[in-house]
Each structure stands twice: as C-alpha cells, then as structure tokens.
Amino acid sequence: MARVYHEKIISAIDVGTTKICVLIAQQLEGESIDILGIGKAPSDGLKKGVVVDIGKTIHSIKAAIQEAELMAGIQIESAAVGIAGGHIESVNSHGVVPVKQGEIKPSDVANVLAAAQAIPIPEGMRILHVLPQYFVIDGHQTVVDPVGMHGVRLEVQAHIIMGAITSVQDLVKCVEQAGVAVGDIILEQLASADAVLSPDERQLGVAVLDIGGGTSDLALYQNGSIRHTMVLPVAGNHFTNDLAIGLRTTIGDALRLKHEYGLVTSEVMIADEIIEASMVHGSDKQFVQTSQLLRILQPRAQEILELVHREIMAKNLMRFMATGLVLTGGGSLLKGMPELAHEIFNVPVRIGLPRVEFAMPESLNSPIYATGYGLLIHVVKRSAQQKLQSEDGPFAQRVFDRMKSWVSDFF
C-alpha cells in the first residue's frame, strides 16, 4: 500500500550519459528536504548528454523511476529534469526598464530580466535560463537583490543559457513517455553547484567542474551569482574507451578497472599492482599493471582539465576562483584527480559531495548524486520564487509564468 504524505513531495531525474538517477523527497519546513527514494539504472540511448535512441532511453528512465518509487512507497507525477550536452551555449546580456512606482517590486525584476532576453537567438536554439549576475539602480548603485529599494531606472547584467530545441524536445519526450511529467528543465552544472557549494564559496568566488559520463560541465560563481558556464564534450566515457582500446579489453572490464583501480597521477600510486583483465574477445584473460592504467588515463584527465583551464584563462575568469575549484561527478572519483587539478590550476581543489541539511541514506553521499540532489534543491528554490511573485500581484505572476513556462512551449 502506498504511503500518504501531507507535505509536498518533489522529485528529480538526472538523465546522464552513463546512468539515470531518480530521487524522490519530502519538502520539510523552509528549504529542508528528506530523501524518501533513490533509483539508479544504467543509461542506454544517450551520447554526450544527448538522446540518440528514444526507446532505450525511455526503458532506462522507467527502470530508475520504478526503483525510486518502490523505495519511497509512492508514485511520482512530475519531476525536474537535468540537461547537458554539447549543444548548450551561454552569453551575457544587459537589460534596462523604468521603475514605475519608485519602489522596486518583484514585477520590476521580472520585467528587466525579460528585457535581457531580447537578444539574437541562433536558429534552432531556445533560452533555458536567465540568471541575474547583478542589478544597477539609477546607473550607479550595484546590488544583488534590488526588491524594496527605490529608484527610477533598473538595469541587470544577466547570464543567458540556451539549448537546442530538438535535444530538449527529445529529452522531454523520453521522460513523459516513461510516465512522468516534466516540471522544469535545469542545466546540470547549475544543479550540481546547488548541491556541493557553500554560501561562502559562492560569495567569494569558486568554480565547479562536474565530470560526468558524456560531458564535463563548468560553472563559475562570485558574489552569490553565476558568472560563466561551459559544456565540454569530453568526460568519463572517454576514460573507459581509452582503457578498452589501450588494454584491448572489453568495455565492461574497462569500466570495472576504471572504478576500482583508475588513477591519473603517480603521486597517489602506492604500488604497481598486477590486475587480471579480460581480453577484448572475452574468452581469455590477461594481466595488466596499475602503471599501465596511469599511462592511459593521465593524458585524458590532463586534456579535460587543460581545456577547462584554457577557457578560464582566455576569458580572464581566474578572478572568480578565489576559493578554488570543486570537482564533482563520477569522473572526480578517479584517484589523483584533485592533485592533478591543483597542479594545473594552482588553486585549492576539493571533491564536492552533496551538502545535506537533513538525514539521508548513506549511499547518496557521493559526487555521482550531486546533480540529482541539486535538482531537488532547485525545485525548492523555484517554489519559493513563485510564491514571492504571486504575492506581488497577478501581473507579476503573469510575467513570471511567461518567462518560466517555456517547457510547455515545445509542445
């Protein structure tokens, strides 16, 4: 018999290239959440974060949903879904509006964010997020939250994130055919940042790099707001493929070797172990050494980190990394990844785990669940924003709905 909860039930689906992760939670007082169900299934049908086989993707999503629902004892109707992929693009934009009544209201903020969206959008692309970086009142006073302040002119500098319409449509179709409505689409590195960053890191300046299966997703924060995002189509699956080719072993055994023995710097190699592995045709066995894994994995790890470092240096973004770099996602679990990143970036580096304010299963305490947990946090924050907008009157709610209900526009 299904459980009955009086508090709000929220859910999230992290549709990754290597795994599908479904989390079901109960929203408690304020922004606290209690995890009720966890479901995970191997991801078939995606490549570099993009759906390439709808049937296989639907099957994988259904399997993860059923596992989470069985654990929670309830069925979910809608969920927030994470999106990534090489099709994601971002740009900074500027918007300005007059303040009608002297005191700035949430409706004025909604209007100026809408003005910032008036930019040329590449054909086949759609705006996913409009994220304010800072506001300017009357041309001179820079603030983070202008609501309640007085002025006659409100400006915003915003970070706009766009995605390919077809990729978003395919993702939404897969989730909905798996039996769950899509409540929102959220860029995965924003969700990961919500899960692993502290308020102080966001304020002082930090970068978070989510190394997933198909893509490596970067986000930089300072003064509590987003400064830059990037999606790099090189990630964990490349490590697996490199091992499979370099050792002439099966994909499955390459994945096992990566998880159990993978390392990317000699600093963390205690001994040069001898490991048994399958041959590529699967019938015979071979013996490989830890040093062989290092020679294969280290160049790929350096490539990912150096590509990100090159982007940061080219766009003069190091000033946004005052507190360092946070690594998360399954790729961050390779031994020596923090040490190698520190060597390349020359800043403090740590592994980002979900920052949980309420008890949750011990099994969720891993970087691979950062995106899923961050999606839940995003849902809670979005709910609070919608409540604020509705309290400002029906006009503000209409503006907010027009900006945020783009998921339904695809259909």
Strands 153-164, 206-211: pairing is: unpaired
Which residue in this structure is represented by tokens 């399954």? 330
Reading the block at residue 379, the tokens are 């849902």
Specify whether the CB–CB gap between 358 and 174 falls below 8 A. Answer: no
Structure tokens at 231: 């999606």
Judge if 89-164 and 236-299 fold alike in CATH terms: no
Specify whether the CB–CB gap between 243 and 251 falls below 8 A. Answer: no
Q: Give the type of residue at 57.
A: T
Q: How crowded is residue 267: how many other Cβ atoms within 10 Å of its Cβ?
A: 11
The type of residue at 257 is L
Second CATH level (architecture) for the domain 236-299: Alpha-Beta Complex (3.90)
Within 10 Å of residue 182's Cβ, how many Cβ atoms?
A: 21
Per domain, the residue ranges of the chain are 89-164, 236-299
Q: Are 25 and 9 contacting, i.e. CB atoms less than 8 angstroms apart?
A: yes
The Cβ of residue 374 has, within 10 Å, a number of other Cβ atoms equal to 31
Residue with the two structure tokens 């039930």:
9
Between CA 317 and CA 323 the distance in angstroms is: 13
Task: Specify the pTM.
Answer: 0.84
pLDDT at 389: 56
Q: What is the 3-state secondary structure (H, E, C) of 6-33?
A: CCCEEEEEEECCCEEEEEEEEECCCCCE
pLDDT, residue 7, reads 59
Work out whether strand 19-27 and strand 349-351 pair parallel, antiparallel, or are unpaired: unpaired
Q: Is the dihedral of CA 127, 158, 114, 105 positive or negative?
A: positive
Taking only the tens of pLDDT, the chain with its 411 residues reads 344 444 588 999 999 888 999 999 988 876 678 888 999 999 888 888 888 899 999 999 999 999 999 999 999 999 999 988 888 888 999 999 999 878 899 889 999 999 999 899 889 998 988 999 999 999 887 888 899 899 999 999 999 999 999 999 999 999 999 999 998 899 888 999 988 999 999 999 999 999 998 899 999 999 988 999 999 989 989 999 999 999 999 998 999 999 999 999 999 888 888 998 888 876 788 899 999 999 999 999 999 999 999 999 999 999 999 999 999 999 999 999 999 999 999 999 999 988 766 555 566 778 888 899 999 988 888 776 666 555 555 444 444 444 444 444 444
| Cα separation, 68 vs 76, whole angstroms | 9
Instruction: Return the SS3 of 101.
Output: coil
- The confidence score (pLDDT) of residue 316 equals 93
For the domain 89-164, what is the CATH code? 3.30.1490.110
Compute the distance between CA of residue 378 and CA of residue 190 in angstroms, rounded to an integer: 9
d(CA 310, CA 337): 18
* Displacement of CA 213 from its chain's centroid (Å): 12
Contact 212, 191 (CB under 8 A): no
**pLDDT reported for residue 392:** 52
Q: Which of 188, 201, 186 is nearest to 232 (CA)?
A: 188
Q: Which three-class secondary structure state does DSSP give residue 302? A: helix
Q: 159-174: string of b/e by CB count within 10 Å (b at 16+)?
A: bbbbbbeebbebbbbb
Laid out side by side, the sheet with 19-27 consists of 33-42, 19-27, 9-15, 78-83, 181-187
Helix boundaries (H) for 248-369: 251-261, 290-314, 337-345
Q: H helices within 219-289, ranges in order?
A: 236-247, 251-261
Structure tokens at 262: 């993978």
| Structure tokens, 237 | 């699956």
Distance CA 384, CA 290 (A): 50
Quote the CA–CA distance of 320 and 45 in Å, as a whole number.
Answer: 36
The three-state secondary structure class of 372 is: helix
